[in-house]
Structures are given as C-alpha cells and as structure tokens.
Amino acid sequence: MTAPALPAAELAALADPAAYDLTDPQTFDDNDPHEMWRPFRAHNPVFWHAPRDGKPGFWVLTKYDDIMAAYRDNKRYTSERGNVLSTLLLGEDSAAGKMLAVTDGPRHREIRNLMMKSFSPRVLAPVVENVQKLTDRLISEAVEEGEVDFVTAVADRIPIHTIGDLMGIPAGDREQLVDWNAQTLSRYSADDGEEVSLMARNEIILYISGLMAERRRNPGEDVLSTLATATVDGEPLTEEEIIYNAYSLILGGDESSRATASGIVHAFSLYGDQWRRLKNAEVTLESATEEVMRWTTPTMHFGRHALTDIPIRDHVVKAGEIVTLWNSSANFDEDVFADPYPSTWAAPPTSTSASATARTSASAPTWAAST
C-alpha cells in the first residue's frame, strides 16, 4: 500500500509548523503520523517549532539524510543537555555526564566499553536461550487461550525478563519493575500526573541502589555487577553512574521492546499478506527484523543542542539551539525507502532505519539493540 497522493498545493498547505504542537503528546494521538509528516518531508523538511506556553522553540528535522547526518555528528552537537524533548526544553538533564545516552566524548566511550563486556557471546547465550523458551511458552499459552490482550499476556513479560537476566534481577522482583516502569511513562492512564511518574522513578532508583550494594559484595557476570565493580583508569564508577545506566537499561529496553512487539503484531493483524510472506520464508528473519524496527519506530524522536552554527538545507541552526530528529518521519522517507508502506515492509530494506542508527550512534541509547 502506497500512501494516497495529494495535489502538490494541498500537500504544501499541510506543511504548516503552526498546525502541530510537538511538545503535546495528544498531538500524536489525534493525528496519523504518516499523514502528518509526509507534507513536511515534501515541502518543509527543516522547520522552526515556535516557542509555546513558556517552552523554548526548536528545530525539527524530518528527512532521513539530514537526521542520519545529525546522529553521526558528535563534534557539532551535544546530548549532555538532554536528548528528548522533556529534558531538551529544560535545557539540562540531571544524568548528563553520567548516563551513557546523555554523555559525550571519552567518558561515553569508557562507559560503553564497560557495558559491552557484559554482552559477550558466553554471557548472552543463556539469556538468548531463556528468551526463546519464555517466548515459546507465552505464545503457546496465548494460542491455547484463544483470545488474549497481547500487550499484557506477552509483550509486557518478555522484555523485563530479558533485562532481568542481563542484570541479574531476582525473578520475584520483575513484575514490580514492570509496574513502576509503566507508571513512569503514564502508560496506565493519561491522567496520571507528574507526581505518579516521579514516585515510580524514585522507586526504581532506590531498588537499583540496593541491588548495586549487594553486587559489590557478591558480584556475578551480569551488567549490574560489571558496573558495580569496574574501574576506569583505576577509579570505580560513581554510584550515580552505576544507577543511571542501570535505570536506562530498565526503562529504555523494557518500553521500546514492548512497543515494538505490540506494534508488529498489530501490523501483522492488519496486513496478513506480510505475515504470510514471513511465515513462508519469502523473506529472512534478519531483513524482517530490520523492517520491524523501521515500521514500528518505538522511539519517535531524539534531540541535541548545537555546539556551533550548523547549516542545514536553507537554514542555519545557531549555537545553543535545540535540534530534534524525528525517526517517525525519517523511517518513511520516500527518497530512501522505495515503498515505505505495508506492501513491502517485510522485504529486505533498502537502507538502515533511523531507529537502528539511533541505537548505535555515538550519543544515543543502545539498550534496545541488546534486548
């Protein structure tokens, strides 16, 4: 299926920055993202989102090539003043310089290298085996039941147990972490206020703190043990660095993996021909996995601050200004993906998705890839 064509004049009229408030989550509930972003890619690919309600303005990038260039540029951009709108608009992130996702330069590489020690084939082998066993069991139970809520019966359970294995989280504690994590993202109700989210985040941090102290006394081969006992140039990581990076793994890996699993099952239910192509081995699991990440795009955006003046197309981003990178637009860029809509998404991708590049770029979270 290709998105329906609109007259050029009508399409251009829809590319109005004033029509959408990208700082309001309701915008993405009220609008089809494909229909929202397509006019901007065609007629207004880089635009200034004006300040609203006391929040600063920011640049919006919608085209694949512009976004890829920004992800790969760690000289002219920084993530240490936030990497998503909620922190970018504040102008700071309390985890800056401590958590991998919002740390630049040598310290980023040092923390990343430490984390990668916990992802060796020997360590990951039992984790992968457990994921396969758990998935088989949950799917079998769902099929036997006949009708289930896929999110709660399957998608909620696989990521947290995977992360639990990676971090050595006791099995009995994992359901509570899922509950806290959902509260941090107001997933139970849009009416949940900031206080509910803050309390849940604090509960996760307190839990990690206690687990970290135990791992320092009795280390294992899990990620948390690696962080708790590692040294860089003879100095151990600070407690904040350990807690923030463990928190990032729980929050990011759990939610992004859940969203991907739920999104792809929904897509298969809508586009049965794509499911049949995969089931009949007309495409490989490897290429389908990449397309799944592109199609679902679990992380809609990331962002950075410019460190210097940066020309982008017909505009110049001034030093200090916010630049937001919209994966949910880039992953459907018609100039990169010949047909980005359902008729071909199970086919081998024509390019790496923005979601995949975000997971491996110099200053973006990498945990979803591990999960």
pLDDT for 198 equals 84
Q: How far is CA 243 from CA 114, 186, 206, in A?
A: 14, 22, 9
pLDDT for 345 equals 52
pLDDT for 353 equals 60
pTM (predicted TM-score): 0.85
pLDDT for 342 equals 63
Dist CA 248 CA 246 (whole Å) = 5
pLDDT in tens, 90-143: 888 888 999 999 999 899 999 888 888 878 888 889 999 999 999 999 999 999
pLDDT for 360 equals 39
Q: SS3 for the chain, per residue? A: CCCCCCCHHHHHHHCCHHHCCCCCCHHHHHCCHHHHHHHHHHHCCEEEECCECCECCEEEECCHHHHHHHHHCCCCEECECECCHHHHCCCCCCCCCCCHHHCCHHHHHHHHHHHHHHHCHHHHHHHHHHHHHHHHHHHHHHHHHCCCCHHHHHHCHHHHHHHHHHHCCCHHHHHHHHHHHHHHCCCCCCCCCHHHHHHHHHHHHHHHHHHHHHHHHCCCCCHHHHHHHCEECCEECCHHHHHHHHHHHHHHHHHHHHHHHHHHHHHHHHCHHHHHHHHCCCCCHHHHHHHHHHHHCCCCEEEEEECCCEEECCEEECCCCEEEEEHHHHCCCCCCCCCCCCCCCCCCCCCCCHHHHHHHCCCCCCHHHHC
Extract the residue ranges of the chain whose pLDDT is less than 50. 1-2, 359-371
pLDDT for 369 equals 30
pLDDT for 1 equals 44
